[in-house]
A and B are shown apart, each in its own frame.
Chain A
Amino acid sequence: MANILEVDDLSMHYITKSSTVRAVEKVTFSIAEGETFGLVGESGCGKSTTARSLVRLLPEVGKIVGGSVRYKGQELTTMSDREIRGLRGKEIGMIFQDPMTSLNPVTTVRKQFFESLKREGLSKKEMEERAIELLRLVGIPEPANRMGNYVHEMSGGMRQRVMIAIALASQPRLLLADEPTTALDVTIQDQIICLLNDLREKLGMSILLVTHDLGVVNEMCHHVGVMYAGRIVEIADTRNLLHHPKHPYTVGLINSLPAENDTRARLEPIHGAPPNLAHEIVGCAFAPRCPFADELCRTKAPNMQTLVGGHRVRCHHADPYDRTRVTDQDRDFAEELIASGSEQGVNADKDAADALTPDITPKKKGGVA
Chain B
Amino acid sequence: MAEETNAPKAAAQGEPLLEVTDLCKSFPLKYGVLDAVMRKERKHLTAVDHVSFSLNAGETLGLVGESGCGKSTLARTVINLYNPTGGKVVFAGVDFSQLSKHELRNSCKDIQMIFQDPYSSLNPRMTVRQVLREELLHHNMCTKAEVDERIIELLELVGLSEDQADRLPSAFSGGQRQRIGIARALAVQPKLIIADEPVSALDVSIQAQIINLLCDLQEKLGLSILFISHDLRVVRYISDRVAVMYLGAMVETAPTDTLYTAPAHPYTKVLLAAAPSMEENKVDDKKAAVLGELPSPINLPSGCRFHPRCPYADELCRTESPELRCLAQTPEGPHMCACHHPLV
Question: Which positions in A face B, CB cutoff 8 Å?
Answer: 42-43, 155, 157-158, 185-191, 193-194, 212-216, 218-219, 239, 242-243, 252-258, 260-261, 263-264, 266-271, 273, 363-366, 369
**List of A residues within 8 angstroms of B275 by Cβ:** 186, 190, 215
**List of B residues within 8 angstroms of A42 by Cβ:** 203-205
Give the docked Cα–Cα distance between A69 and B204 (Å). 30
**List of A residues within 8 angstroms of B270 by Cβ:** 187
The answer to whether B203 touches A260 (Cβ under 8 A) is no
Identify A218's interface contact among B204, B276, B293, CB under 8 A. Answer: B276
The answer to whether B293 touches A364 (Cβ under 8 A) is no
Q: Would you list 9 pairs from A and B whose C-beta atoms are within 8 A, ordered by A residue?
A: A186-B232, A186-B271, A187-B270, A189-B276, A255-B208, A256-B207, A257-B208, A258-B211, A364-B284
**List of B residues within 8 angstroms of A256 by Cβ:** 204-205, 207-208
- Write the B303-319 contact mask toward A (1 if CB under 8 angstroms, else 0): 00000000000000000
**List of A residues within 8 angstroms of B289 by Cβ:** 187, 190-191, 194, 365-366, 369
The answer to whether A185 touches B66 (Cβ under 8 A) is yes
Return B272 CB to nearest CB of chain A, in Å.
9
**List of A residues within 8 angstroms of B287 by Cβ:** 190, 194, 365-366
- Of B90-98, B103-111, B233-241, B247-255, the segment with at least 4 beta carbons within 8 Å of chain A is B233-241
Return A48 CB to nearest CB of chain B, in Å.
14
Excluding A218-B277, A257-B233, A260-B279, 15 further A-B contacts by CB distance (< 8 Å) are A158-B293, A185-B66, A186-B271, A190-B274, A215-B275, A239-B280, A253-B204, A255-B208, A256-B207, A269-B206, A270-B205, A273-B175, A365-B287, A366-B286, A369-B291
Determine which residue in B232, B278, B289 has the highest number of CB atoms from chain A within 10 A of its CB, and name it: B278
| B283 interfacial by beta-carbon distance below 8 Å | yes
- Known interface pairs A187-B270, A269-B209; A363-B283 also in contact (CB < 8 Å): yes
* Number of interface residues, chain B, beta carbon within 8 A: 42
- Write the B255-289 contact mask toward A (1 if CB under 8 angstroms, else 0): 01100100000000011011111111011101101
Whose C-beta in chain A lies nearest to the C-beta of B288?
A: A366
Identify A258's interface contact among B234, B257, B271, B291, CB under 8 A. Answer: B234
The answer to whether B277 touches A260 (Cβ under 8 A) is yes
The answer to whether A260 touches B204 (Cβ under 8 A) is no
Question: Which positions in B face A, CB cutoff 8 Å?
Answer: 66-67, 173, 175, 203-209, 211-212, 230, 232-234, 236-237, 256-257, 260, 270-271, 273-280, 282-284, 286-287, 289-291, 293-294
Give the docked Cα–Cα distance between A218 and B175 (Å). 26
Whose C-beta in chain B lies nearest to the C-beta of A363?
A: B283
**List of A residues within 8 angstroms of B271 by Cβ:** 186-187
**List of A residues within 8 angstroms of B278 by Cβ:** 214-215, 218, 242, 254, 257, 260
- The 7 A-B pairs of least Cβ separation, nearest first, read A215-B276, A258-B237, A269-B208, A190-B274, A256-B208, A42-B203, A270-B205
The answer to whether B204 touches A187 (Cβ under 8 A) is no
**List of A residues within 8 angstroms of B234 by Cβ:** 258
The answer to whether A273 touches B274 (Cβ under 8 A) is no
Identify B211's interface contact among A261, A267, A364, CB under 8 A. Answer: A267
Give the docked Cα–Cα distance between A161 and B260 (Å). 30
Give the docked Cα–Cα distance between A214 and B257 (Å). 23
The answer to whether B280 touches A243 (Cβ under 8 A) is yes
Give the docked Cα–Cα distance between A269 and B234 (Å). 14
**List of B residues within 8 angstroms of A216 by Cβ:** 276
The answer to whether A369 touches B208 (Cβ under 8 A) is no
Return B241 CB to nearest CB of chain A, in Å.
14
**List of B residues within 8 angstroms of A270 by Cβ:** 205, 208
Whose C-beta in chain A lies nearest to the C-beta of B239?
A: A263
